[in-house]
């Protein structure tokens, strides 16, 4: 049985360093300083969201259904995961912002979003 390795020190809160690796097959061991993968550093809530997002093939509508949450909540969770991974480029291009607004308006016109959720999502883009 394997457990999720902690990413932060329980004493001071700093990032833990991986210093030893072991092969489960032949028992070979390797020691040194190794950087953990980005996903290993995610808090459980962000990791679970990313797994759900991937399982839903990136469809925000499907993530809404799977988690039973609103569009703005999904967007906020996505932003949180991106920030945790160091991938959040809040300065997005004007074209990307226009595309995101268009996506929200299309979902509204198809009845996939309520007016309240669309307004909240559009306000979130403006932040």
Q: How far apart are CA 39 and CA 62, in angstroms?
A: 22
Q: Is 81 exposed, middle or buried (0-12, 13-18, 19+ CB in 10 A)?
A: buried
Range 2-30 average pLDDT:
85
The answer to whether residue 25 is domain-embedded is: no
Total structural domains in the chain?
1
Whether residue 91 is predicted with pLDDT greater than 70 in this model: the reply is no
What is the percent of the chain where pLDDT is above 70? 91
Which domain CATH number covers 75? Answer: 1.10.10
Query: pTM, whole model, 2 decimals?
Result: 0.56
Whether residue 94 is predicted with pLDDT greater than 80 in this model: the reply is no
Range 31-58 average pLDDT:
87
Residue 101 has what pLDDT? 84
Residue 126 has what pLDDT? 65
The answer to whether residue 28 is domain-embedded is: no
The range of the structural domain enclosing residue 92 comes to 41-125
Mean pLDDT taken over the chain: 84
Taking residue 63's Cβ as centre, other Cβ atoms within 10 Å add up to 23
Residue located via tokens 């999502």 = 121
> In which region does residue 13 sit, left (phi positive, over 0), alpha (psi from -120 to 50) or beta (all else)?
left
């Amino acid at each position: 049985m394997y457990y999720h390795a902690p990413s932060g020190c329980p004493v001071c809160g700093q990032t833990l360093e991986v210093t030893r690796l072991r092969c489960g097959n032949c028992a070979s061991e390797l020691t040194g300083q190794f950087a953990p993968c980005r996903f290993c550093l995610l808090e459980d809530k962000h990791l679970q969201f990313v797994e759900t997002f991937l399982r839903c093939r990136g469809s925000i509508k499907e993530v809404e259904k799977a988690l039973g949450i609103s569009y703005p909540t999904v967007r906020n969770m996505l932003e949180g995961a991106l920030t945790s991974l160091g991938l959040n480029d809040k300065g997005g291009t004007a074209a990307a912002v226009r595309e995101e607004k268009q996506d929200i308006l299309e979902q509204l016109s198809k009845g996939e979003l309520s007016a309240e959720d669309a307004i909240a999502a559009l306000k979130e883009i403006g932040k």
